[in-house]
Structures are given as C-alpha cells and as structure tokens.
Amino acid sequence: MSEWNRRDFLRTVSAAIASSVCTRAAERKPNIIIVLADDLGYADVGFQGAKDIPTPNLDRLAASGVRFTSGYVSHPFCSPTRAGLMTGRYQQRFGHENNPKYDPSDAVSGLPVSETTIAQVLRDGGYATGHIGKWHLGAAPHHHPLKRGFSESFGFLGGGHDYFKAQMTPDAKEYVIPIQRDGKPVEEKEYLTDAFSREACAFVRRHAGDPFLLYLAYNAPHTPQQSSEKYLDRFAHITDQKRKLCAAMTSAVDDGVGRLVSTLRELKLESDTLLFFLSDNGGPLHDVNGTRNDPLRGAKGQVYEGGIRVPFIVRWPGRLAAGKTYDRPVISLDIFPTAAAAAGVNLAPALQEKLDGVNLLPHLLGKSSSPPHERLFWRTGGGVLFAVRENRFKLVRIRGASPQLFDLETDIAESNDLAPSRPDLVAKMSANLEAWNRQLIPPLFESPVPPANRAARVSER
C-alpha cells in the first residue's frame, strides 16, 4: 500500500470511529434522578431564602438548574403525592387519596397494581432502576418496589423510620422495621440519612456505564426529629430545639445531595443526568418539627399554598439553562412524562392519554410559549378539602365553609379573600373543579391516623 493510500485509509478509519463514537454519544439515554425530601419547609433551604439553615449544595443545584417558583405537588401529605409522582396521574383517579397503613397482609392499602409507574416504563426502556429510602406505597408483597419496576431497592416500606435503630424481628412496628436491601432485612448502623446518601452514590457507581433511574426518597426532615452530632454541631446557635433539629436534618440532606452530585461529576455523568429535587409536601406546622413555609399560608395537610407549593428544581447541564427561574405553575405529576420524553421512551397511546402530567422540556427549552397547565387541582379526604389554580387565581373550598378566592400574583400569602367581590370567577372555577371531581373515585383505603393539621386547623397561617 502506498504512503498516500495508507494515510487515506487511516483517515477513513479514524473518521468512521469518530462518527461511531459521536453517534453513540448522541444516542446515549440520559440518567434520571429524582430526589425527594420529606416534609421540607418552603423556606428551609437557602435558594428559597432561608438564612439560618445553610444549604450550599442545594443552592448550587438551583444555581446550575431551573428553579420552579410555582412548583407544586399533587397532594398535601406523604403517600398520595408519591403515588402521583410514580404514575404521572392525579392519584384520586385510582383511589390513592390517603396514607396506607403498614400491614404486609393488607392487599388493598397501597399503589394499585393496575397503575403503571415511571420505573416500569424506564426499566422496559433499558434502564437500571433503583429505589433508595422511604417507600410508603404499600407494605404487601405485590406493592414492594421490586414489584413496581425497580430492579434494586434499599430502604423501608412504611411512612417513617427511626434514624438510628431498627428491630430485626418479624413483628417490629412501623418506625423500627428492618431496613431492607432487595426485599431482605439488613442491619444498618449509619445515621439513616447518611446511609441513603451512601447507597445512592454506590448505585450510581454500579451503573455508570448504563442509563439509570434513581429514586432517592429521603425521610428527612420528617419526624422523629433525630440527628447525629455531626449535623447538630453546625447549629449550636439555634436555641429553639425543634428548629435546631430541623436544621440539622435538612443539612444532612444537603450533604447527601452534594455527595451525589460529586459522584456524578467524578464519573463524568453530570451532563448526561436529568435531576429533579423537591419535597413531598409543605412543612408541617412549626410546632411539629420546626419547619417554616414563609411567606405561604398553611402547612402540610392543607390545600393552602403552604401545604402544596414546595421547593422544586430541575437540572440538566448543557441542555437546560442554568440559574433560571420558571414562574408558570408546574406539578410533580410532570416528572413522569418529562423523564420518559428525555429517555426517548415511546409511551403506549393508552398510557399517554391517561397522564395528567405534561412533558416540561418544550416549555423549559423555549419551544413552547404556552403554560404547561391550564389549571391544577387538589382534593383530600374524598372531598374534605379542594383547591384549583387557574393562571394567577386560586380557589379553596373547605367542607362546611364558603369558597375562598385568591390572586396569587399579588397575594402569595392568601390573605385577601376575593370571593365576595368576584362571584363570577368563583362560579367559573367551581364548575371546573366539579367537572374534575366527577372524574375521580372515592378513596380505596383510609389513613390509619388522620394526617396532622388536615381538617382541625385548616385555617391556620
């Protein structure tokens, strides 16, 4: 072979290899990470204005991603929000409107097996799928994460857990049940929040070469209020004990998110990872665990803003603009279709039609100028509390009380009831709310303990 032909041959081979590498890179599906905090207050992280709880890692996440200033969850307390997030559907459509009791023999209390989860969709699309942390979607064997689309699972099945101890016995109560790894009990000695962060980083390392879905569901800062000295020492200046513990537990979550992002960076996976961070609901009233929802009205269990508007970030370096805010209302139901679209998964038409969430990517990338949602809805207790948001206005209905109407653009604290002066708008929004309500079914199961603050203190600010 002549020198010219040899050089030409090498150039051709090099070009083919480069083309193949570029094609593989272009075809690589992004990793999806969903980080869910538990009972995090709206004002308890730095990027939301907290001054007494430094959250440098979450602040960097917000600064390098998009912060939703009107980011909502689909329910004001734990399990129903998780059911909506997993399915992309208003959970009241399939009866998951209350918290399931922890009872492995109860076949009904949990996310109905008729529903398709984001984990099932991505697993079928070639993703490794991992659940870490709190589950709270049913304790029966058929409700287990490993039966709902996750190929790996580390955490607990109930609604909360002691952060330092567990009882390695079959009859253990909900908050001290054994931590499970892939359905088998394991003895965990590390502070639970740190253990979940450890496991999240290990999952990423195991699957660095493949696309993965990681659902990291911290139970912090949910009660019981417990922290290791490492985090408590950071807040020796806070004299309010509940607030101090809240700060310490939130700081542990912040550290964990920092460890996770550092692992992505080390493995050069940051630009290949679409990451969501949010809370499952607003913080409880301050005397429960020291959280704050300033400047919002209300708290966990209520459909005022303090119960349903949460800290909410999405980050995809190189794809989504960094340091931006998005002000139009979005909801946790949107995570399912957004993740599926990013992954290039073609949803079955029947499933696509059932989704209430929408793909946010066209809106975030400037390809759509319309709002993602014409209106958003909430219902608790089969009809104890209702709310609907349409553009800037929000209607709140509490059983036995007159409807309330608020202009959230000028009154985020919901302090000025416009209902008496806008009966036309109240009637219109009420009709839309009723039309939605007629599509729903009654709750399939009742909460073992009524969620705190839901009805007895619904008017508290």
Task: List active site positions.
Answer: 78, 136
Give a three-class secondary structure readout of the chain.
Answer: CCHHHHHHHHHHHHHHHHHHHHHHHHHCCCEEEEEEECCCCCCCCHHHCCCCCCCHHHHHHHHCCEEECCEECCCCCHHHHHHHHHHCCCHHHHCCCCCCCCCCCCCCCECCCCCCCHHHHHHHCCCEEEEEEECCCECCHHHCHHHCCCCEEEEECCCCCCCCCCCCCCCCCHHHCCEEECCEEECCCCCHHHHHHHHHHHHHHHCCCCCEEEEEECCCCCCCCCCCHHHHHHHCCCCCHHHHHHHHHHHHHHHHHHHHHHHHHHCCCHHHEEEEEEECCCCCCHHHHCCCCCCCCCCCCCCCHHHHECCEEEECCCCCCCCEEECCCEEHHHHHHHHHHHCCCCCCHHHHHHCCCCCCHHHHCCCCCCCCCCCEEEEECCCCEEEEEECCEEEEEECCCCCEEEECCCCCCCCCCCHHHCHHHHHHHHHHHHHHHCCCCCCCCCCCCCCCCCCCCCCCC
Angle at 426 between CA 422 and CA 429, to 5 degrees: 135
CA atoms of 444 and 448, how far apart (whole Å): 13
